[in-house]
Structure 1
């Protein structure tokens, strides 16, 4: 049996606005809304689909899976642009020469951005 990744899916109490936010940040587009209960984003820098599923109550606390994004630009400028678009800074981090920024999207889902260099 061979498995392949179909999508990364994020629980949300309001999927359409957060899907639109991610589509804008990634230069992607919403390709399906399914009456607002399962919204799918594709294109831009995504290797597959990023989906947002409507749930009555998202799981509280830190998300157990998160996106790790790469930028080919200046890491601080990229983080500042995401913050200006509505993300929240969680923490700037580094390990040796490798640096990344942990942010949270407008619904509180954490994700990281690192320099691709």
Structure 2
């Protein structure tokens, strides 16, 4: 028996707007809405889905799991994400590899890497 990643789920006090935000950023679409408490986003170029579930009290502090996104235009994509409501937290370089750490409108941390 093996495991297969089916979904990455985010907790949120208001999951609808966050699901729509990620769907727009990741070229996805909302394929399921369950009475405002659970949303599923299918991604155009990924075999897994993202989900957003309503909870009363999100876990405080830094998330222990985060998304690593890639792009062909790092600076342009970071600018688009910030314009759409993301916040830049840090820029990193390791040799020729460069990435930017951001947070989505709910404060979930994610990274974007790519060429500049």
* TM-score normalised by L of structure 1: 0.94
**Contact kept in structure 1, 2:98 and 2:115, CA below 8 Å:** no
Measure the CA separation in 2 of the matches of 1:36 and 1:10.
14
Offset at residue 98 of structure 1 (A): 0.3
Gaps in structure 2 of 5+ consecutive residues: none
**Contact kept in structure 2, 1:26 and 1:46, CA below 8 Å:** no
Measure the CA separation in 1 of the matches of 2:64 and 2:45.
22
**Contact kept in structure 2, 1:10 and 1:53, CA below 8 Å:** yes
**Contact kept in structure 2, 1:70 and 1:116, CA below 8 Å:** no
Offset at residue 47 of structure 1 (A): 2.9
- Find the counterpart in structure 2 of residue 95 from structure 1: 94
Measure the CA separation in 2 of the matches of 1:25 and 1:56.
25
**Contact kept in structure 1, 2:91 and 2:99, CA below 8 Å:** yes
Equivalent pairs, count: 116
Runs of 4+ in 1 over 3 A off after TM superposition: none
Offset at residue 45 of structure 1 (A): 3.5
Measure the CA separation in 2 of the matches of 1:112 and 1:91.
9
RMSD: 1.3
Offset at residue 14 of structure 1 (A): 0.5
* TM-score normalised by L of structure 2: 0.95
Measure the CA separation in 2 of the matches of 1:58 and 1:40.
19
Gaps in structure 1 of 5+ consecutive residues: none
